[in-house]
A and B are shown apart, each in its own frame.
Chain A
Amino acid sequence: MVDREGRIVEANDAARVLLPGPAGDDRASEDLPDWLADAHRRMVGGPGGTHVNALYGTIGERLFEAHPTPSSDGDVVWWLIDDTDRRLAEASLRSEQERAAILSEVSSTLLSSMNVAHCTEATARLAAHHLADAAVLVSPAQGRRFPLTHARAGGPVTQAVRTVDPATVPGLVEALQGFPPAPTQWINPDDIPAWAIPLGFAGQVGSVIVTQLPGHSEPNGALILLRAGTGRAFTEGEEAFTRQFAARAGAALSAARLYSEQARVTATLMRDLLPPDLGGVHGVEYAGRYRAAQDDQRIGGDFYDVHPGADPTRESLVVLGDVAGKGLDAAVLTGKIRNSLHALLPLAHDHEYVLNLLNAALLTSHHTRFATLVLASARRQAVRVRLRLTSAGHPPPLVVRADGRVEESRTSGDLVGAMPTVSARTEETDLAPGETCLLYTDGITEARGGPLGRELYGIERLKRDLTGCAGMPAEAMVERVHMLAAQWLGRGRHDDMAVVAIGAPKSGAPTVVNGDTRPRNTHQRQRRNP
């Protein structure tokens, strides 16, 4: 009970323990904590007394809620309720919730990217934002150089590869090796070298944590967290939280590294299985296009190649084929067939012989698949292109004449990889300027769809559509055929689809006979005759 002058008139045992002083009455108002004395003055000062709501304040280390009960004689009874534990519990709940939210954000952000550089950048940025004033991510060494990622809270993230000595940061060598982290109190902020402080970091380094980013076998680097001198030091709870953060970041970086490595291996193995870029060779235009059966793949059981002749007087060999089956397994076999045919090039003057050699090779291999293909030998003669076409169990090539007629080649033969020998009949034909020979796989003609859904595209429709394509350059025709097939399919499923066009250029004989107009090659360019 406190009187008008702020003297403690009476106190119970608990209050005496709390506010020790001379036992007995009439203690001066200085004995009251300032916040309570202030409230008391406001309570009794105003005319008729001002109503005061519940108050909060600290006494010593603890937090109290104070409820006043004025009495008629002007004294006020202050009830003090110790609120410390509830507040602590609330604060820790709040910080737990915040941390959970941060970890969830960190996980989602890091999981979205499978790119090591992006993950590294995001880790440094999130660490600087949520855990400290600045963060430096030291990635695993590349020789004696370390990729460093610097981030400041609210600032830009910069990445650089530098030769630095990790031993200059206490605990960093151990963190990079995956040893347990050094406790923060062991790290003297003055020992932090300049390279480990992001540019624009304001003021002195106050406290530092070094933590490792765990990886699958080796750590994914280490994280140096810095707080400015005036900021709070890292508490034990924050250190633990930093480790949780680092565990998530490390897992994301591991996944990204693993993915990058797998993607690199796949890309390397895939390189030789992908269809080649075609262009002009020795005065003949070639274009090809491929669509795999699985729309998420780029390879499958169809293939094509153009092998340029040794010089413009020699034939170039065009191959287009279809291996039974789809997907990666089929693609691996197309690779073998393409290699075998490459080796058989010197014998390409006799298509049937080449097919028999290929047949023998396929029969003795452990693959049980067979293949159909078309061989086309092409050579420019004055303005025309001479062609020899041989089908081995494959849909016949189509020749689109300048007047719009579409001729079906009469070549025919057995497929390869099934019978002991192969017989095939080669047909010869000429292309006049502007005429095109089209090789395609049955994925085109067997496309099922159309406006009514279940019709086959079919060779007759293909021939009719090609009538409107007379005079088209090779690449435009290839695109056109794929487009027609794709429109026909709509959303339907389909087989591998490959198309190659061999075209006789419309304009006269090229002056650069050896002109090569493959995409992106600007050095050798065919020019039109004046």
Chain B
Amino acid sequence: MTDSGDTAVTAGLRDRLWQAVLDGDAYTTTDVLRQSLDAGLDKETLLLGLVAPVQEQVGLAWAANRITVAQEHAATAANERAVTALIPAASARRRQRGRVTVACVDGEWHAFPARLVAEVLQLHGWQVDYLGPQIPVAHLIDHLHRTGADAVLLSSSIPARLPTAHAVITACQAAGMPVMAGGRAFGPDGRYARACGADRWAADARGAAAALEAGLRAPGPAAARQAVDDLPHLADQEYTMVVGARSRLVEQTLTDLEKDAPAMQLYTDVQRHRTAEDFAFIVDFLATALYVDDTDLFTGFVTWTADVLEARSVSARCLPPGLDLIARQLRDFPRATALLREGAAAVAARPRPGPGETAPGPGGVA
């Protein structure tokens, strides 16, 4: 989200903010931001040139195991609190442009990017209803009917939520609302946003503001549709079957792994549980890759998992055999077995990252 307009943000300033959020210290974080504003930094640059990059750094540091989950949460909370303190809610300002709703996909926890988008749009003169994370779809639709928003901006950072995101997009459009999608979950080029039939995709907050200014057409009556109308490959039922068999797949894979790899029999309960969780995530991403019919989504996730494991000094060696064991259980599903094969090959072909080189995950830890 950095660009040439953000040169006013000095490295020193960024370091001070980084230190403050790392301490989870909302007061110092607020002070750093306030001082930047007093020194003449405009609010948009503050949000997109300073706060957003530091928040992204938090996610990278977690993936590289340089900070703990606790620090990650504390840092995000500090950033969020500081933004709240410095940018007061637009007080029933007259609509200058229009009214839009910013929401996260139900089940999404990484609400901060959506929050930044909401704040930036407000600075651009939009009346913004920011609904935050964990908003049930029914509630979102109810909100749209009640407020008569001009558009919905939907944020998601976890690709595993794409099927839910798709349902939200179609529900909003069936209610006559155009939907703009954004966030890491929709792919670096927004390809999953298009696959899910979003009216528009925005790479970042400024892109969202520009797209809104250009105007979004309300979807026509043909927008009421079912998932399979957008994604005809769903008719092969592979996605449905994998989702339904999730627990069974994980359990069987663990059992088989223990037979093949005696070292696993020495795992503690906690280690066993972590391994089970890793494979549960892998099955979730497999399902999502089947949903959007995209190999990159799956290979990207398994290689990222391998990097994260190794950043934590856990060998990624059990990944390819594990993928193979899942594939054996899914013998009758050609798309799934192809994905698993590609995934195992990608892990094997992966260059060893040095410490701290872990790429931001498709899981969107930021």
Contacts and interface: CB of A to CB of B under 8 A. Distances in A.
Contacts of B25: 506-507, 528
B24 A522 contact: no
Given A263-B142, A451-B277, A479 B73 contact: yes
Contact of B175 (A113, A122, A263, A520): A113
Contacts of A263: 142, 145-146
A469 B70 contact: yes
A451 B246 CA distance: 8
A520 B88 contact: yes
Contact of A476 (B73, B146, B175, B224): B73
Nearest to A285: B26
Nearest to B146: A263
Interface stretch (A78-86, A104-112, A321-329, A357-365): A104-112
B258 interface: no
Interface string B241-281: 00100111011000000000000000000100100110110
B30 A525 contact: yes
Contacts of A520: 84, 88-89
Interface in A264-280: 264, 267
A522 B27 contact: no
B86 interface: yes
Interface in B219-255: 220-221, 223-224, 243, 246-248, 250-251
B70 A451 contact: no
B77 A475 contact: yes
A468 B27 CA distance: 23
Contact of A470 (B70, B81, B251, B270): B70
Contacts of B26: 473
Interface string A86-121: 000000000000000000110011001111111000
Contact of B176 (A112, A472, A517, A528): A112
Contacts of B84: 519-520, 522
A280 to B, nearest CB: 10
A486 interface: yes
A522 B88 contact: yes
Interface of chain A: mostly helix, strand, loop or mixed: loop
Interface stretch (A47-55, A141-149, A294-302): A294-302
Contact of B224 (A112, A454, A471): A112
Interface string B4-28: 0000000000000000000111111
B176 A113 contact: yes
B23 to A, nearest CB: 8
Nearest to B221: A108
B246 A453 contact: yes
Given A296-B138, A451-B247, A472-B24, A479 B77 contact: yes
A453 B251 CA distance: 9
A468 B70 contact: yes
Contacts of B24: 471-473, 476, 506
Contact of B31 (A295, A483, A517, A528): A528
B76 interface: yes
B342 interface: no
A114 B146 CA distance: 8
A104 B220 CA distance: 12
B292 interface: no
Contacts of A109: 176, 220-221
A464 B69 CA distance: 14
A473 B175 contact: no
Nearest to A263: B146
Contact of B144 (A115, A260, A491): A115
A519 B80 CA distance: 10
Given A116-B148, A507-B27, A522-B85, 14 more contacts: A105-B220, A112-B174, A112-B175, A113-B145, A118-B176, A296-B138, A298-B139, A450-B273, A451-B247, A479-B77, A490-B280, A517-B85, A526-B27, A528-B27
5 contacts: A108-B224, A297-B136, A517-B81, A522-B85, A522-B86
The 7 closest A-B pairs by CB, nearest first: A453-B247, A108-B221, A451-B276, A451-B280, A528-B27, A296-B138, A476-B73
Interface of B: 23-28, 30-31, 68-70, 73-74, 76-78, 81, 84-86, 88-89, 106-107, 109, 134, 136-139, 142, 144-148, 174-176, 220-221, 223-224, 243, 246-248, 250-251, 270, 273, 276-277, 279-280
